[in-house]
Structure 1
C-alpha cells in the first residue's frame, strides 16, 4: 500500500479548511476597508504604520499583533484597514518579520505640523525644548528616552540665575522620564500637568490595550522589566515610580504662555508665574480639551473624558459630542445599570463615526436605554440640572454629571506665539 495517498487524503481537508479560513478573513478585511473609506475613517489621526508593499510577504503578523485591529491582509499584503482606530504604539512594526513597516506622521492628503528640533531636542528658540509625541515621537519607549536625553542637555544650560532650572510641561512618558532625570541631576524643576492624572495620551487609550512593546530605561529607576504591556499595568507601574521616588507633579496646572526674558523665560500657568532657565514641552498632540463655554462648566461634575462607566451607575449623565469618543462614552454609560444617559450633538446627523458605534447607539436608543438629541446645544450647567436648547426649545433635565467629548485644541498656535517653527509632515517619519 502506498501510504503517500493516505497522507494526501488526510491533508486535503486541512488544506481546504485553511483556504476557507483565509478567504473568509480576506473578505472580512476587504469589507472593513471599504466601510472605512465610505465613512471617511481612512485617515489616521496621528502616528501610524506605512507598509512597504514590495517587501511585505503577507504573513499577517502585524494584523495579529495590532490590538485595535487597524491592520488587515488584502490581496496578500498588509493594509491599514481601520486607520481611525490606530494609536501608533508600534506593535505592528515590532511584529513584522521582514521589517516592511515604518511609523510616520501625516499622509499625502493631510499633513501634520511637527516642531523643528535639533538632535539635542532644542527648538529654534534657544532654551525651549520639545520631546515625545509633540515632537513626532509617539512610541512610548522612544518618548521616555527623549525626555531623559533632553534633560542631559538642559543640565548644561543651567546657570543658577533663575528660580527654576527647567519647567517641564506635560506628564506623559516623556515628562515623567524628564522629571526623574531632573531629580537625578539635582536640578530645580517644576513638572506641571493640565489634567488630574499622569500618563498623557496613554491614559486615554482604550481599556486593556497594549501600550508599549519594548523595555525602557528611566533615570533613578533603571530598566523597566517588561516588554509588551497593557495600559492599566503601565499606568500602575508609573504611579508606583512616582510614589517610590517622591517625584512631585503639579496636577490641574495648565501652561498659558511662555515669554522670553533675558537669560530665561517667564512661564505663566493657571496657578502662577515662574522664571525658568529652560522650558521642556512634553505635551501630547491631543491638546487642551475643547470646552463648551457655557455658565456652570467650571463645576467639578464636568469632565472631558470617560474613564470608568461604573462610577456613574444610577446617575443622570449628559454626554456632549458627535464623534466616536462621544458615541462610545454614551454607549458604555447606557450599558451601565441604572444610568440615565442623554447624548447631545449640535448637528442634525452623526458623520465620520464607525458604523458599529452608530448601530449600537441606535439599538440602545430604540430600547429606551438612552436619549439622542441632535440639533441641540447646552445652555447652562446647574448643580443638579442642565439646560439644553433642543431644536429651538429650551428644556431642563436632572443631571449628576456632564462628559464633554468635543475634541481638543492643538498646542500649535501657542508654540508659534513663542516663536517655535514647524514643518509639515506628509507621510514622513
Structure 2
C-alpha cells in the first residue's frame, strides 16, 4: 500500500521547489516529482542566458540569492536552486514523469508515474510551459535544421541563420550568433521590435540599422528547404540561402495533460486553466496550480518573481481547510 501524502507536487522548477519548502514548513508530508533534472526548464535555457529579474526576485523559501551580476545568469541560478534543494533537504523524485492523476475514494488522488504509484490528499501542478514549442505549421518545419530551442552560439559560426520572432529569445539568438560569426536574418511578424529587454533592444536595433543583422518586418516564414527558405514580405516573396532556422516562437503549457486530469480550460485562444486566484485551487477539489502554468497561453504574465507567492497561498489554503474540517 502506497503512503498517503498530504501534498504531491508535479514539477521540480523554482515554483515547485517553493511549494515543497512551504509544505515542509507546515509539517505536511509531500513529494516533488520532476520528469527531468532539477529545475529542468532552467537547465535547458541558452548557455549564456541572463535573467530579466534581479537575484532577490528569484529567491524562494527565504534563502538569499547572492550574485556577482546585477541580474544573475543561468549558471548562477542552477547553483542557487541546487543549494536551496540541498539545504531544505527537499523530498525530490527526479527523472520521473507523472502519467496520470485520477480521483480515488475518500477524497484522495491516485497518481501513476513512470516509476511508481502515489496517493495524495492534495495535488499542486507547477509544470511551467517550456516543453512544448509553438509551431510555425509550415512546410519543412520538421527538417532537422529547424530548431525551437537554442543553447550555444558557437555551433552557428559561419552559418546562415534565420531567426523567427521578435521577443527576448529571438533577440538573444540573433545577437549572440552574429557575434560568433553567423550571418543572421530576422523574420518578424510585427512592424517593429517589441517586448525585448530594455538593455538588449538598443543593441539589436543598432545592428539592424547598420545592416549587420538583416531584418524583414511585417513578414512571415512560409517554407523551409534543405538549403534555402521562403519569406513573405510586404514587397513579395524572398528566397534566401539558409543553413539553420531558429524558430523562437514561444512555448505553451501541456494542455493535454491538464485536461486529462480534469482541469477545465477557457474556450478562447488564451486557454486559461480554471482556478481561484486567491487560493490557486482549480475546478478539481484540492488540486492547485502554481507558477507560469496559471497563465495558459499568456506565458508572459507569470514569472518566478511574481508567482512565488502561489506556494504560500496554496499551503495556507490547505491548512485552513484542514482546520475547518476539524471544527466540524
Pairwise TM-score range, normalised by the shorter structure: 0.5 to 0.7
Match of 2:17 among 176, 183, 186: 176
CA distance in 2, matches of 1:214, 1:342: 33
Residue matched to 1:143:
none
The whole-number CA distance in structure 2 between the counterparts of 1:273 and 1:291 is: 33
Change in 2 beyond 3 A, CA 1:196/1:308: farther
Q: Does 1:281 align with 2:136?
A: no
| Alignment match, 2:165 | 321
Which residues of 2 match residues 104-253 of structure 1 at below 5 A?
160=2, 167-176=8-17, 190-192=33-35, 197-199=40-42, 206=50, 210-212=54-56, 227-229=65-67, 230-231=72-73, 232-239=75-82, 247-250=92-95
Aligned equivalent of 1:420: 275
Specify the SS of the correspondent of 1:314. Answer: coil
TM superposition shift of 1:346: 2.0
Contact 2:16-2:126 within 8 A present in 1 as well = yes
Instruction: Show structure 1 runs of 5+ residues with no match.
Output: 1-158, 218-222
By how many angstroms is 1:372 displaced? 0.7
1:348 Cα deviation (Å)? 3.5
Helix, strand or coil for the counterpart of 2:181?
coil
Q: Aligned to 2:12, what secondary structure does the other structure show?
A: coil
Quick check: 1:365 aligned with 2:203?
no
Q: Distance in 2 between matches of 1:196 and 1:299?
A: 29
Matches of 1:382 and 1:357, distance apart in 2: 31
Which whole-Å deviations, capped at 9, do the CAs of 1:282-309 have from their partners, x for residues lacking one?
2458896533234554666655565543
Does residue 375 in structure 1 map to residue 218 in structure 2? yes
Larger deviation, residues 373-382 vs 350-359 = 350-359
Counterparts of residues 300-311 of structure 1 (less than 5 Å): 302-304=146-148, 306-311=150-155
CA distance in 2, matches of 1:274, 1:297: 38
The equivalent residue for 1:62 is: none
Report the Cα distance in structure 1 between the residues aligned to 2:150 and 2:231, rounded to whole angstroms.
21
Shift of 1:339: 0.7
Which of the pair is proportionally richer in strand? 1
Residue 400 of structure 1 is matched in structure 2 by: 244
Tell me the equivalent position of 1:339: 182
Name the CA shift for 1:168/1:293 in 2 (closer, same or farther; >3 Å). farther
Q: CA deviation at 1:175?
A: 2.0
Kindly state the Cα deviation for residue 343 of structure 1 after the two structures are TM-superposed: 0.9
Distance 1:212 1:201 in 2: 22
Q: Over the residues paired in the alignment, what is the CA RMSD in angstroms?
A: 5.4
Give yes or no for contact 2:2–2:119 (8 Å, CA) kept in 1. Answer: no
The structural deviation recorded for 1:355 is 7.7
Q: Which residue of 2 aligns with 1:292?
A: 136
Largest Rg, 1 or 2: 1
Q: Is the 8 A contact 1:170 1:192 kept in 2?
A: yes
- Does the CA-based 8 Å contact 2:6-2:28 persist in structure 1? no
CA drift at 1:366: 4.4
Give how far 1:341 is off: 1.2
Residues 191 and 218, structure 2, Cα contact 8 Å, conserved in 1: yes
- The alpha-carbon distance between structure 1 residues 313 and 199, as it changes in their structure 2 partners (threshold 3 A), is same
Structure 2's unaligned 5+ residue stretches are 266-272, 281-300, 310-328
Question: 1:374 deviation in Å?
Answer: 1.9
